Amino acid sequence: MSPTGKKLKLAAALVAPRASSGGWRHDNAATTEGLELAYCARLAGQAEAGKLDFLFMPDQYRTPGATPDEFERHSNVWLEPVTLMSALAAVTTHVGLAATVSTTFQEPYHVARMFASLDHLSGGRASWNIVQSRGDAEESNFGGGCRPAQEERAEHSRQFVEIVKALWDSWEDGAIVADKVSGIYADPSKVHRLNHESKWFTVKGPLNVPRPPQGHPLLIEAGESDAFRERAARQADVIFTMLNDLSAAREFYRDTKRRLAAYGRGWDDLVIMPGLSLIVGATPEEARRKQEELARLERSTPRLDLVSFLTGLNMEKRGLRIDSELPDAADELPGSKYAAHKERADQLGLRTVEELYRELERGFGHLSIVGSAEQVADTLEEWLALEAADGFIYIPSVLPSGLNDLVELVVPELQRRGIFKTDYEGATLRERLGVSRPRNSFTGG
């Protein structure tokens, strides 16, 4: 049992990123069946059997592949998250359903309506993973010329989220009377218009879906920076972050949670869940064999989108190859990711894109554990006890076998130690995670 009596929260992603780099060839990896509802329903059923808190579907508005070779050798297709989670709502009962939607290429009214609908259909299990789309790769799939500039997207996203929350609040709890005798369907004093007008948005309201069962579907955000910590303390319910060092994770945890009081929020109103990569076996030796098998399948040449993400270079737009000389940073905005990395590269004597990428790759990634269920549980228990995390979002290397390993090997060991639940408690995802139901912004109630 955790010395604080706390229990771990656990979620699982429904994609296996390593599959895109060659892991799709693994004997236990799903390929085209990953697009079928029956397959996704089996995964959801397995997650629910393991009492996982929610399923998490990442997304981006482009294919990772950028070259003929990458289309030939990499897996580049997946399902749209809200559609998938809506389908899974019908075949699950308890597990939460988290879908990723970008604020950059959507409208607040659409997003508010989709997630309110999902929350009603699932009985209070919906969650929105809020992202801002960056770079040109996704923007090239959207016309209109009215998108916020890169440097404006954080403020644009903040306004977007505030509008969505106000739309969820536009019908108060109990606004719908539906009295057949009197003929009164709704109490108009409990229905509110936003009448919002700003640089990017004009939203009159109200929403045409009543207030969601959770008040607001659970809000997930990802990041680590100081500005992100402040934003998350103000508006996020769950933080998904990439921390693989215990001391850094403890600092992030304490610093972010201490900011909650300024927004009238309690310590437990924000759940911090770093990403988790596992290769687990019945014995440490079996886990290492699994790791070696995966490594043999993965291609040694990294995908250009990963290189772009880590270095801050737009490889496709600049026409760069992995062996290209590092370009000068003089034309980059001050403080840009690449400008900072180029300075580091110069200090270390790195000359090519690949040399910089490999250097950055060594310090990049989620908490990664290879070992037996007991070894995995030791690490997760330590992070919980030392307040480095409230839980983890598991990112399988291979599906469906990776989820099976979590549920069949790791979860029983966590339950044996008394640090993971043996059954679901609470009616909604918020209740199960211990996150307060938000007050209505129009009434304060």
Indicate the residue type of 284. Answer: P
Structure-token pair, residue 378: 């030791």
Residue 368, H or E segment: strand 367-372
**Buried b / exposed e across 116-146, counting CB within 10 Å, b at 16+?**
bbbbbebbbbbbbbbbbbebebbbeeeeeee
Say what angle helices 81-89 and 108-122 make with each other, to 10 degrees.
20
Rounded CA-CA distance 38/36 in Å is: 6
End-to-end Cα separation, the chain, in angstroms: 37
Q: Judge contact between 169 and 440, C-beta under 8 A.
A: yes
Q: Which residues pair with 372 in a beta bridge?
A: 281
Q: Which amino acid is at 330?
A: A
Residue 403 is encoded by which pair of tokens?
Answer: 């989820």
Backbone CA torsion sign across 91, 95, 96, 99: negative
Query: Taking a C-beta distance cutoff of 8 angstroms, is the pair 186, 151 a contact?
Result: no
CB 164 within 8 A of CB 158: no
Q: Distance between CA 434 and CA 431 in Å, rounded? A: 5
Q: Is 100 annotated as a binding residue?
A: yes
Q: Check whether 75 is labelled as a binding-site residue.
A: no
> Helix/strand/coil (H, E, C) string of 171-228?
ECCCCEEEECCCCEEECHHHECCCCEECCCCEECCCCCCCCCCCCCCEEEEECCCHHH
Question: Using an 8 Å Cβ cutoff, are 203 and 196 in contact?
Answer: yes
CA-CA distance, 102 to 100, in Å (whole number)?
7
Detail the residues annotated as belonging to a binding site for FMN. Answer: 59, 100, 225
Detail the residues annotated as belonging to a binding site. Answer: 59, 100, 225
